[in-house]
Amino acid sequence: MPSFGAADPRLVFVGLAPGLHGANRTGRPFTGDYAGELLYKTLHEAGLATRPESVSADDGLELRHARIINSVKCVPPGNKPLPDEIRSCNAYLKAELASLRHVRVVLALGRVGHDAFLVASGLKRSRFPFGHGHEHRLDETRYLVDSYHCSRYNTSTGVLTEPMFRRVVARACELAGLDKG
């Protein structure tokens, strides 16, 4: 599954894996499922997406200053990647992150995205504990920001609310120096 968004982003979202009935079907990360509905709506509200929803890879939606990358490139069995699958795909994440020169903020969508980013960056997980809303300064100009994954499960159980998600995306935009619009 290819990544989606700006070629030279300041903000990168690191997700989990393509969803069986969403991205795997549509060809674009977070498109065609509930997590994508919340993500693209929030990105649009933040001025990072040209439209509030994405229904297919050719629907005209574009991202501004942002890119979405999945930790795992293919749909995992049971829609949950195993540690071996995450490790196998980490080289792709590492290579893509290395090619993005102006990223100021990585927003990890869930613990898998958080951990995969740290491994790809050669950083120790013990130094950067995962927690919704946690901000980790990586160096003079870069941050890792954590969010619970925007899945239907997390939102239906109240682990993540839309206001919580909007706040963490707004904070990531602020750290990246991105004004709305």
Span 92-109, pLDDT tens digits: 999 999 999 999 999 999
Q: Which amino acid is at 129?
A: P
On whether the pTM is more than 0.85, the answer is yes
Q: Quote the pLDDT of residue 181.
A: 47
Q: Which amino acid is at 88?
A: S
* CA–CA dist 177, 180 (Å, integer): 10
Least confidently predicted of 33-37, 94-98, 135-139: 33-37
Q: What does the domain layout of the chain look like in residue ranges?
A: 4-176
What sign results for the dihedral spanned by CA atoms 6, 155, 77, 88?
positive
Average pLDDT, rounded, for the chain? 90
Least confidently predicted of 32-36, 50-54, 64-68, 161-165: 32-36
Residue-wise pLDDT tens digits, 172-181: 999 999 976 4
pLDDT at residue 1 greater than cutoff 90: no
Q: What are phi and psi of 146, to 5 degrees?
A: -105, 145
* CA–CA dist 33, 29 (Å, integer): 10
pLDDT at residue 85 greater than cutoff 60: yes
Cβ-Cβ contacts under 8 Å for 47 (sequence gap 6 or more): 64, 173, 178, 179, 180, 181
Of 29-33, 74-78, 170-174, highest mean pLDDT: 170-174
3-state secondary structure of 171: helix
Q: Quote the pLDDT of residue 22.
A: 57
Pick the CATH number of 4-176 from 3.40.470.10, 2.70.98.60, 2.30.110.10, 3.90.1170.50: 3.40.470.10
pLDDT at residue 25 greater than cutoff 70: no
pLDDT at residue 12 greater than cutoff 60: yes
Q: Quote the pLDDT of residue 92.
A: 93
* CA–CA dist 33, 132 (Å, integer): 22
What tokens were used for 72? 């795992």
Of the CA atoms within 13 Å of residue 160, those in its CB half-sphere come to 24
Q: Return the beta strands (E) in the chain as ranges.
A: 4-5, 11-15, 66-70, 105-109, 135-137, 143-147
